[in-house]
Structure 1
Amino acid sequence: MDPEDRPPATDDAVESTNGACDTDTDTDTIDDTDTDTDTIDDTEDPEAFVGDPDGGDRDGPVADVNPDRSEDGLLKRFRRDNEGPLMWLREMLSSVAIVLLLGLILFGVSGVWPPMVAVESGSMEPNMEVGDLVFVTEPGRFAPDAADNDIGVVTYENGQAADYRTFGTYGSVVIYQPPGRTASPIIHRAMFHVDEGENWYERADRRLHNADDCEELRNCPAPHDGFITLGDNNGQYDQANGLSEPVKADWVTGVARLRVPYLGYVRLIATGQAKPSDLISVSTGVEPRELGTESTSPLIDRSESTPGTMIGTERTGFSLRFDSSTVAVHG
């Protein structure tokens, strides 16, 4: 058929053609939209959201999934709470830390552990009382010029010559533990030093033993080198009444330096060696126990008191609000 004989295109055909073109155009537009969507997906960073990192619901509230944040909150409560279990735990730990710190400081100064001992008997009265807490140093530390030995102990004899006094009278007060003794260590005054085999009867104060000669006096002649010791409130030497042989230097575990009234009752009450009523009684000036007859020991001068000593039921000195590790000692 010749082209001239062909029928003219109808409007329907034109519209169909235009529709096809429109469809293609729309398709391109949809493809562009898809491309834009893909672009948005590519720019998303899951780690930029605090929430579900696997692509969960990111439009909801942000969850507190950071464990450090929870720990910070607990730590802040522990530091700032003024009531409740965290407050009690904080106060308890603080108290323990303070006591340990003070104990370490005292240990650094004294060189012995424990650096304090609690007096449990009255054999050193009135210069040391039951319930006193006594600060001690290792033998040889802070040795005075009057000491003539390696452990820094000044005997009563040498103290008289040098006018060296501790705890109310001449000489050093030592803490010693004889071999085989299972009871508490002993805290008594060093009176004089003897050599092995020495007849020390003539050097002894006859008021402090009941012997007529060396043969009747216990530990005479001296079985070895050592100190003759005495409780200030006792009527006999420790070596005369059989409490101990002459005290060797290596039996001495410490030298008494300072005492704190009453504070030793903390340990004595905790170990059952004293009752709370005992502390109440002595603090109010009423002794809870009978002291017996007044001591005739020549070491005790009841006519005057010295700072830090006790006369009768009156106690002088100072008190502290803390305690450290202690052991009880037999006065």
Structure 2
Amino acid sequence: MSGTVSKAEGASARRDGVLRIGTRGSALAVAQTTAVAESIARATGLDIELVTVTTHGDTSRESLSELGGTGVFATALREALLADECDLLVHSLKDLPTAQAPGLVIGAVPKRADARDALCARDGLTLETLPEGATVGTGSPRRVAQLKSVRPDLEVVDIRGNVDTRLGRVAEGDLDAVVLAAAGLGRLGRLDAVTDFFALSQVPTAPGQGALALEVRAGEETGRGDVARALKAVDHATTHACATAERAVLAGLEAGCAAPIGASALVDDGLLFLTATVYRPDGSERLTASHAATPDSFGAADLDEAARDVGARVVAELLGAGAADLAPLGSA
């Protein structure tokens, strides 16, 4: 049995057999929320309504650093959930502050998409072949530092806007290239714009990049209710553990979502590996730490415990090496 997915005209009252999922209204947010909704509908038979919520991050033209980090995208969504205007939220995990919101929990993390960053440049250019002084657009302090560390000659331009707006600046000749998340491009069917993928081993991305988080009211993640059924249907234990490990770095460093920090975790051959790098904002210096943990089994609880353990060890090494003096880490 499978349910249906529809868009609600404003918030509707809760009805049995119908799950209301809150989302931002951008094309990317709606696309990734719809994909989650369809998976839940197929697995549970629930009917799904998408409830669109406008956030301050969607309406402001300020840079992410001026706005105070990507947590600005989460506040209005969380208020809607707490007001019972929806039953579940879908966030881009990299946009979610590490501090748990009172009364809410992350109940599930679906299987991750491509975590890499991608260059979208004119004339098929790569990061290596961009001409000296080329203009590259990004709104991420981490990406600025990483670009400068490899190509200090580039002119990095602070930009905002949705994926189409950013790609349009390259097509119109305003910029030579932009850096975007491969996962977002894939979800929008725009991978054709990519001219260069950055290897995670060389360019670690934002903690949680490529993954989604399903946030619910505390207590509803357990039991046999519709919300708990939906979470169980889409949670991917390995992705959940990797995201937990990466986000433990941000939390341990007391860093904001927009801090110049990259982290990448993976599970391979029974080991959970985590590598994290803190950059000086101008890309002139960086610190890297890597550790591994061995979960007793692949049960969700053991993976979660291993993720937090390896995250704490990476944080301890970075702080011991002077990470707090290298970059402004901000607030988580």
- What TM-score bracket applies, with the shorter chain setting the length? under 0.3
TM-score by length of 1: 0.25
Looking at secondary structure, tell me which structure has more helix per residue: 2
TM-score by length of 2: 0.24
